[in-house]
């Protein structure tokens, strides 16, 4: 064992954040190892931004402990070592794109080349455009550039691809993967499961200020190696124990939310056929029937009884 093990990049324990009578973060625990990408995934209002802003040192908290690179959030020594991309951009309205990035670069000891970073993020065509005239997606990318220009070891990205078109989103995903390849630690928030699935080593699913599940995307979405699910919609309140009895043993059947049914396990053509004929016997039509691997959306639905997007 090393005599001086490095502390985790982020260590949060029993974190509580209240706004008046509203508890936004309710006893949250998480540990992020260095050099990994962690995604805080959850619906609007889950407490993701509050958590990240506390780690960034921008918000006070009511209880618990938070350590960032082994230090208290907001510690002066942390400033040059972390990069922050706040939700919604946060740029100066009248400043031109290239000026803004150059300005931030002058604050860093060993900045990246601003022209290179602007090109990587597809912003070379808007260098002289004032921030307020950039599209939402361009503002987001400029904000990401500002977070990265100082070569931080740890970056906080709050909904980094919100408002971006698919092409820009892809660019940002590639950049985040490249950062990880360079050993940078990335803590991001998102309410997009595909983003979390594509980028994260570790996903923490939050709902109502609490962690409802955490693990790698594979750990979260698989019960076993050949696990799949058949999902269909029909009238709410069907007796799933009857369907279960009609199916081979080992399959799990449940009504995940009203009118949405899941059959999980090894799904073969016979299972699909049994489900549709069982529905026919009940006098209902199985709609939107699909067979797929479990997604993070399914995991969330399973844990909370609600859709992640709602």
Q: Which residues bind ligand ATP (CB under 6 A)?
A: 19, 22, 24, 42, 44-50, 87, 191
Which residues, including other chains, have CB under 8 Å from residue 201's CB and lie 6 or more apart? 36, 37, 38, 180, 216
Residue corresponding to tokens 């100082």: 150
Q: Which of 273, 144, 71, 43 is nearest to 136 (CA)?
A: 144
> Least separation, in Å, of the C-beta of 240 and ligand ATP?
32
In angstroms, the CA 244 to CA 250 distance is 9
> Least separation, in Å, of the C-beta of 33 and ligand ATP?
23
In angstroms, the CA 22 to CA 205 distance is 20
Closer residue to ligand ATP, CB minimum distance, 61 or 261 = 61
Q: Which of 4, 24, 12, 9 is nearest to 210 (CA)?
A: 24
Closer residue to ligand ATP, CB minimum distance, 42 or 265 = 42
Closer residue to ligand ATP, CB minimum distance, 17 or 67 = 17
Closer residue to ligand ATP, CB minimum distance, 40 or 243 = 40
> Least separation, in Å, of the C-beta of 77 and ligand ATP?
26
Closer residue to ligand ATP, CB minimum distance, 97 or 187 = 187
Q: Which of 57, 78, 56 is nearest to 7 (CA)?
A: 78
> Least separation, in Å, of the C-beta of 45 and ligand ATP?
4
In angstroms, the CA 149 to CA 91 distance is 15
Maximum separation of any 2 CA atoms in the chain, in Å:
72
> Least separation, in Å, of the C-beta of 26 and ligand ATP?
10
Closer residue to ligand ATP, CB minimum distance, 22 or 128 = 22
> Least separation, in Å, of the C-beta of 161 and ligand ATP?
13
């Amino acid at each position: 064992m090393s005599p001086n093990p490095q502390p985790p990049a982020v260590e949060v324990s029993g974190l509580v954040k209240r706004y008046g009578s509203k508890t936004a973060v309710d006893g949250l625990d998480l540990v992020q190892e260095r050099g990994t990408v962690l995604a805080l995934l959850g619906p609007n209002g889950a407490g993701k931004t509050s958590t990240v802003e506390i780690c960034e040192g921008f918000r006070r908290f009511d209880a618990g402990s938070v350590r960032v690179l082994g230090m208290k959030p907001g510690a002066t020594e942390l400033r040059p070592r972390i990069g922050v991309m706040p939700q919604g951009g946060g740029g100066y309205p009248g400043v031109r794109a290239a000026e803004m990035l150059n300005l931030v670069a002058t604050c860093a000891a060993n900045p990246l080349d601003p022209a290179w970073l602007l090109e990587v993020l597809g912003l070379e065509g808007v260098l002289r455009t004032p921030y307020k005239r950039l599209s939402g997606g361009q503002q987001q990318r400029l904000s990401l550039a500002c977070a990265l220009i100082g070569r931080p070891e740890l970056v906080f990205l709050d909904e980094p691809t919100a408002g971006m078109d698919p092409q820009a989103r892809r660019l940002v995903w590639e950049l985040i993967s490249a950062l990880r390849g360079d050993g940078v630690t990335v803590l991001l928030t998102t309410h997009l499961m595909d983003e979390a699935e594509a980028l994260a080593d570790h996903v923490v699913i939050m709902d109502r200020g609490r962690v409802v599940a955490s693990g790698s995307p594979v750990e979260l979405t698989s019960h076993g190696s050949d696990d799949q699910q058949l999902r269909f919609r029909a009238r709410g309140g069907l007796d799933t124990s009857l369907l279960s009895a009609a199916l081979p043993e080992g399959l799990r059947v449940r009504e995940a939310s009203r009118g949405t049914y899941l059959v999980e396990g090894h799904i073969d053509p016979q299972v699909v056929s049994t489900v549709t004929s069982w529905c026919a016997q009940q006098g209902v039509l199985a709609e939107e029937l699909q067979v797929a691997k479990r997604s993070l959306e399914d995991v969330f639905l399973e844990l909370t009884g609600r859709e992640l997007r709602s």
